[in-house]
Amino acid sequence: MELIRFNSPQTNPYERIDGVSLGELISSNGIATMRTIAFPPNTDASDKTYYVYGVVTPAPTDVNCKPFALITVTIKASAMATLQAQEASCMGSESAADGWIKLIGYQPTDRYEVSTNGLFSGQNYPIPTDGVVVSHLSRTGNPKTYDVRMYSAFGCYTVQSVTLANIACNCLPEKCVPIVIQKLSRGH
Protein backbone atom coordinates (compact mmCIF):
# COMPACT_ATOMS: atom_id res chain seq x y z
CA MET A 1 0.00 0.00 0.00
CA GLU A 2 1.25 3.48 -0.90
CA LEU A 3 0.29 6.73 0.83
CA ILE A 4 -0.33 9.80 -1.34
CA ARG A 5 -0.86 13.35 0.02
CA PHE A 6 -3.26 15.81 -1.64
CA ASN A 7 -4.31 19.38 -0.84
CA SER A 8 -7.96 18.64 -1.65
CA PRO A 9 -10.30 15.61 -1.54
CA GLN A 10 -10.03 13.21 -4.51
CA THR A 11 -12.62 11.06 -6.24
CA ASN A 12 -9.93 8.77 -7.69
CA PRO A 13 -6.54 9.03 -5.93
CA TYR A 14 -5.06 6.50 -8.39
CA GLU A 15 -4.99 9.29 -10.99
CA ARG A 16 -2.46 11.11 -8.75
CA ILE A 17 -3.41 14.60 -9.99
CA ASP A 18 -1.26 16.97 -7.90
CA GLY A 19 -0.55 14.20 -5.40
CA VAL A 20 2.73 13.72 -3.54
CA SER A 21 3.86 10.19 -2.74
CA LEU A 22 4.71 9.71 0.93
CA GLY A 23 6.10 6.21 0.38
CA GLU A 24 4.94 2.64 0.80
CA LEU A 25 3.91 0.84 3.94
CA ILE A 26 6.18 -2.03 4.89
CA SER A 27 4.45 -5.23 5.97
CA SER A 28 6.05 -7.46 8.57
CA ASN A 29 4.14 -10.39 10.04
CA GLY A 30 0.85 -8.81 9.00
CA ILE A 31 1.64 -5.44 10.60
CA ALA A 32 2.10 -2.45 8.32
CA THR A 33 4.64 0.14 9.43
CA MET A 34 6.01 3.31 7.93
CA ARG A 35 8.67 5.83 8.72
CA THR A 36 7.79 9.22 10.16
CA ILE A 37 6.19 11.43 7.54
CA ALA A 38 7.03 15.12 7.38
CA PHE A 39 4.35 17.54 6.24
CA PRO A 40 5.07 21.05 4.98
CA PRO A 41 5.04 23.64 7.79
CA ASN A 42 1.91 25.70 8.08
CA THR A 43 2.79 29.37 7.67
CA ASP A 44 -0.84 30.43 7.19
CA ALA A 45 -2.96 32.18 9.79
CA SER A 46 -5.48 29.30 9.68
CA ASP A 47 -5.25 25.53 9.94
CA LYS A 48 -4.14 23.55 6.86
CA THR A 49 -5.78 20.21 6.02
CA TYR A 50 -4.16 17.51 3.90
CA TYR A 51 -5.89 14.44 2.48
CA VAL A 52 -3.79 11.28 2.63
CA TYR A 53 -4.99 8.31 0.62
CA GLY A 54 -3.79 4.75 0.96
CA VAL A 55 -3.90 3.02 -2.43
CA VAL A 56 -3.08 -0.55 -3.42
CA THR A 57 0.33 -1.02 -5.07
CA PRO A 58 0.61 -2.10 -7.79
CA ALA A 59 -2.72 -0.61 -8.89
CA PRO A 60 -5.39 -3.21 -9.69
CA THR A 61 -6.06 -3.66 -13.41
CA ASP A 62 -9.82 -3.78 -12.93
CA VAL A 63 -10.94 -0.11 -13.13
CA ASN A 64 -14.04 -0.95 -11.07
CA CYS A 65 -11.99 -2.37 -8.21
CA LYS A 66 -9.52 0.25 -6.99
CA PRO A 67 -10.02 0.43 -3.23
CA PHE A 68 -8.51 3.20 -1.15
CA ALA A 69 -8.56 4.55 2.39
CA LEU A 70 -8.55 8.21 3.41
CA ILE A 71 -7.22 9.98 6.47
CA THR A 72 -7.18 13.72 6.93
CA VAL A 73 -4.26 15.44 8.61
CA THR A 74 -4.71 18.95 9.98
CA ILE A 75 -1.64 21.07 10.64
CA LYS A 76 -2.57 23.72 13.17
CA ALA A 77 -1.65 27.35 12.51
CA SER A 78 1.43 28.72 14.22
CA ALA A 79 1.23 31.69 16.52
CA MET A 80 1.15 34.86 14.45
CA ALA A 81 2.31 38.17 15.91
CA THR A 82 4.64 41.03 15.12
CA LEU A 83 7.71 41.78 17.21
CA GLN A 84 8.33 45.44 18.02
CA ALA A 85 11.26 46.96 19.95
CA GLN A 86 12.22 50.34 21.39
CA GLU A 87 15.83 51.21 22.26
CA ALA A 88 16.40 52.81 25.65
CA SER A 89 16.58 56.60 25.53
CA CYS A 90 19.58 58.69 26.51
CA MET A 91 19.65 61.53 28.98
CA GLY A 92 22.97 63.13 28.18
CA SER A 93 25.60 60.45 28.70
CA GLU A 94 23.31 58.27 30.86
CA SER A 95 20.98 55.53 29.57
CA ALA A 96 17.43 55.38 30.84
CA ALA A 97 16.03 51.91 31.58
CA ASP A 98 13.02 52.45 29.32
CA GLY A 99 13.74 50.12 26.38
CA TRP A 100 11.31 47.29 25.62
CA ILE A 101 10.33 44.45 23.29
CA LYS A 102 6.69 43.59 22.72
CA LEU A 103 4.37 41.45 20.65
CA ILE A 104 1.53 42.90 18.61
CA GLY A 105 -1.35 40.95 17.07
CA TYR A 106 -1.18 37.84 19.26
CA GLN A 107 -4.07 35.69 20.45
CA PRO A 108 -5.04 35.68 24.15
CA THR A 109 -4.09 31.98 24.37
CA ASP A 110 -0.61 32.46 22.82
CA ARG A 111 2.45 32.11 25.01
CA TYR A 112 6.07 33.26 24.68
CA GLU A 113 9.66 32.49 25.58
CA VAL A 114 12.70 34.79 25.21
CA SER A 115 16.32 33.84 24.52
CA THR A 116 19.45 35.96 24.12
CA ASN A 117 21.72 33.06 23.13
CA GLY A 118 19.58 31.28 20.52
CA LEU A 119 18.68 28.43 22.89
CA PHE A 120 15.19 27.88 24.26
CA SER A 121 14.30 25.87 27.36
CA GLY A 122 10.69 25.15 26.34
CA GLN A 123 9.39 26.92 29.44
CA ASN A 124 6.90 29.51 28.17
CA TYR A 125 4.64 32.10 29.73
CA PRO A 126 1.32 33.81 28.98
CA ILE A 127 1.82 37.01 26.99
CA PRO A 128 1.10 40.05 29.22
CA THR A 129 -1.97 42.06 28.21
CA ASP A 130 0.20 44.98 27.02
CA GLY A 131 2.32 42.57 24.91
CA VAL A 132 5.60 43.66 26.55
CA VAL A 133 7.77 40.55 26.96
CA VAL A 134 11.07 42.31 27.86
CA SER A 135 11.20 45.65 29.67
CA HIS A 136 13.51 48.02 31.55
CA LEU A 137 16.26 47.69 28.94
CA SER A 138 19.25 50.05 29.12
CA ARG A 139 21.88 50.83 26.52
CA THR A 140 25.03 48.79 27.13
CA GLY A 141 27.21 49.97 24.26
CA ASN A 142 27.05 46.51 22.62
CA PRO A 143 24.46 45.17 20.17
CA LYS A 144 22.20 42.47 21.62
CA THR A 145 19.84 40.08 19.85
CA TYR A 146 16.63 38.89 21.44
CA ASP A 147 14.85 35.81 20.03
CA VAL A 148 11.17 35.50 20.92
CA ARG A 149 9.43 32.17 20.42
CA MET A 150 5.64 32.47 20.22
CA TYR A 151 3.52 29.38 20.92
CA SER A 152 -0.06 28.89 19.77
CA ALA A 153 -2.61 27.16 21.99
CA PHE A 154 -1.74 23.92 20.15
CA GLY A 155 1.99 24.14 20.85
CA CYS A 156 2.96 25.24 17.34
CA TYR A 157 5.51 28.03 17.41
CA THR A 158 7.40 30.59 15.36
CA VAL A 159 10.54 32.50 16.26
CA GLN A 160 11.19 36.17 15.55
CA SER A 161 14.37 38.07 16.35
CA VAL A 162 15.28 41.69 16.92
CA THR A 163 18.72 43.19 17.47
CA LEU A 164 19.02 46.34 19.54
CA ALA A 165 22.01 48.49 18.57
CA ASN A 166 22.52 49.60 22.19
CA ILE A 167 24.75 52.49 21.13
CA ALA A 168 26.31 53.99 24.24
CA CYS A 169 24.98 57.29 25.49
CA ASN A 170 28.12 59.39 25.14
CA CYS A 171 26.64 62.70 24.09
CA LEU A 172 27.11 65.52 26.53
CA PRO A 173 24.17 67.81 27.18
CA GLU A 174 23.91 70.61 24.66
CA LYS A 175 25.41 73.92 25.78
CA CYS A 176 24.29 77.32 24.72
CA VAL A 177 27.13 79.28 23.11
CA PRO A 178 26.52 83.04 23.18
CA ILE A 179 27.02 84.86 19.91
CA VAL A 180 27.98 88.53 19.77
CA ILE A 181 27.67 90.44 16.51
CA GLN A 182 29.85 93.49 16.26
CA LYS A 183 30.34 95.85 13.31
CA LEU A 184 34.07 96.30 12.62
CA SER A 185 34.11 98.65 9.65
CA ARG A 186 31.87 101.06 7.83
CA GLY A 187 31.07 100.69 4.23
CA HIS A 188 30.96 103.56 1.70
Cis peptide before 58 (omega within 30 of 0): yes
Residue 31's pLDDT is 76
In contact, 109 and 152? CB cutoff 8 Å: yes
Mean pLDDT per 10-residue segment, the chain (188 residues): 91 90 81 76 81 89 88 83 91 90 91 93 93 94 93 85 89 59 62
pTM: 0.60
Domain-wise residue ranges, the chain: 2-75, 82-164
Q: 64-100 burial, b if ≥16 CB within 10 A, otherwise e?
A: eeeeeeeeeeebebbbbbebeeebbeeeeeebeeebb
- pLDDT at residue 115 in the model: 94
In DSSP terms, which residues pair with 99 in a beta bridge?
137
pLDDT at 183: 58
What class is the 82-164 domain? Answer: mainly beta
Whether residue 103 contacts residue 112, with contact meaning beta carbons closer than 8 Å, is answered with yes
